Amino acid sequence: MAAKEPSPQTVLERCSNCERETEHTVSLEIRTEGSNPETDHYSREPYRLTRCLGCGTRRSQRMNNA
């Protein structure tokens, strides 16, 4: 289950698919990683979501490695 995403922002980043620097939309999402409904609230983690505006490639990166 994901929290509501804020409005995406546009930044210049290197796209591994395009192999060049392109504009990307960037947003954050809180994801639940657990599968037990009784403890799900302890397993929410922030993810950075990007989408290349050149080729459409989407990527997600976990922001907390604890």
Cα atoms in the Cβ-side hemisphere of radius 13 Å centred on 45 = 13
Q: How confident is the model at residue 7, as a pLDDT?
A: 52
Q: Is residue 2 part of a domain?
A: no
36 part of a folded domain: yes
Does residue 51 lie in a domain region? yes
The residues with which 12 forms a beta bridge, in sequence order, are 23
- Which element (helix H / strand E) includes 59? strand 58-62
* Structural domain containing residue 54: 9-62
Q: What is the pLDDT of residues 12-42, one digit of tens each?
A: 999 999 999 999 999 999 988 878 878 777 8
Q: Number of structural domains, the chain?
A: 1
